[in-house]
Amino acid sequence: GRRSFKPSHRHAMLQELLWPLVLFCIRSNAFENERIEDDPWDLDGPCQPYIQRFGDTVAVMVRCASSFSSPPKVCTTCVNEYIAFKQAEYDLHRLTNVTSLDSTPCARVIFSNYIVSYISEISDVVSRRIWDQSRCSSCVNINWEFEKNSTMYAYTKNVYNFEKKLFDWRHCVMNYSLEVDEFYKNYSVVCENCLTSFNSLFHFYWDVYVTPGIDFCLDVETTMNDTMNVWHNVWGCADDSGHDRQRDWTFVLFSVAILTALTSLFYVGSYVQSERAHRTLVQYSRLEAPGRLRSRILSSSAIADEFAQQQVSSPQSTSDPP
């Protein structure tokens, strides 16, 4: 038959299972403290508590970044974790009043005493590969106060405006989705009534996106891409109003007409210029060769030689009898 246990029996069995686990945790904690503080073979033992503190902040930051990686939300969700991580890194760099067993400052032990500094490598990954490549500085302004350990931050104005327009659009979608039967099969009501708020969101994002020197962080960029994907591909809503599409087509046709006219003027001008050059060459080719007088144009030295020859021949001509 089915075996039953009384509450007292279950409590005793639970104690039997938990006590070994508790003892294991106590022994592990004692062993860890002994390894860090009392191990005579650990040359860098006095530095280990600070390294572990840094490791804890890194673990929290990496866990936050991993949890908000799809879609990326590090810049708007993991700011406090990133500040705590950078503060712990700063404290390690300033750790000169604590030394290892050979009197080497812990800051030097951690960052430059060995061939590879895992702290430096991990810091570089978090700071450059996660925070910087997400362009978080475009969305968050951080006022660092490492000395006072009182760093403050604030989101940029563009982020606030984007979030406001995003929430307005989502609020519109939620309002009209409650009035539509089988909302997840028919989105025409939402597409029609929330087009204005969607266009306001998109145009604001686009104006900032195309402005030189201004950028959005990866959080905002990914949010906008996902929003457009839902609006167009999932719900099948139109790109824009017909008036805007007509205006775009008018601009395209006008640009094509201007480009065609400029190209035609260029080729016509080139043809006219080549005809003029051809007629000029024909006129020059029909000219006669220069006459004798033109060929007698000599240099100054040739004229001087001819004059001297005439002077020599003139006395001879006067001495001859008539």
User: What is the per-residue pLDDT across 191-231, written as a single tens digit (0 to 9) for each?
Assistant: 999 999 999 999 999 999 999 888 899 999 999 999 999 99
pLDDT bin (cut points 50, 70, 90) of residue 263 is confident
User: What is the per-residue pLDDT across 150-194, written as a single tens digit (0 to 9) for each?
Assistant: 999 999 999 999 999 999 999 999 888 765 555 456 788 889 999
Are 161 and 102 a contacting pair, CB within 8 Å?
no
Q: State the pLDDT at residue 114.
A: 84
Q: State the pLDDT at residue 16.
A: 52
Which amino acid, one-letter code, is at 156?
Answer: T
Mean pLDDT throughout 91-97? 91
Q: Which two tokens stand for residue 284?
A: 């020059």
Q: State the pLDDT at residue 143.
A: 96
- Determine how many CB atoms are found less than 10 A away from the CB of residue 135: 16
Write the burial class of residue 156 (CB in 10 Å: 0-12 exposed, 13-18 middle, 19+ buried): middle
Asked if pLDDT for residue 146 goes beyond 50, the answer is yes
Q: State the pLDDT at residue 238.
A: 82
pLDDT bin (cut points 50, 70, 90) of residue 53 is very high
Asked if pLDDT for residue 125 goes beyond 60, the answer is yes
Asked if pLDDT for residue 308 goes beyond 80, the answer is no
Q: State the pLDDT at residue 248.
A: 55
Are 103 and 181 a contacting pair, CB within 8 Å?
no
What percent of the chain lies above the pLDDT cut of 90? 42
Segment of 19-33, 79-93, 305-319 carrying the highest mean pLDDT: 79-93
Are 62 and 126 a contacting pair, CB within 8 Å?
yes
User: What is the per-residue pLDDT across 109-124, written as a single tens digit (0 to 9) for each?
Assistant: 989 888 888 899 999 9
Asked if pLDDT for residue 290 goes beyond 80, the answer is no
What percent of the chain lies above the pLDDT cut of 70? 65
- Determine how many CB atoms are found less than 10 A away from the CB of residue 68: 16
Asked if pLDDT for residue 142 goes beyond 60, the answer is yes
What is the C-alpha separation between 169 and 191, in angstroms, rounded? 11
Which of 133-142, 167-176, 254-263 is predicted with the least confidence, judged by mean pLDDT?
254-263
Q: State the pLDDT at residue 169.
A: 96
Considering the entire predicted model, what is its pTM? Answer: 0.61
Which 3-state string (H, E, C) describes 239-282?
CCCHHHHHHHHHHHHHHHHHHHHHHHHHHHHHHHHHHHHHHHHH
Mean pLDDT throughout 286-306? 53
Helix (H) or strand (E) holding 294: helix 292-295
Are 99 and 46 a contacting pair, CB within 8 Å?
yes
Nearest CA to 185 among 195, 177, 193, 197? 177
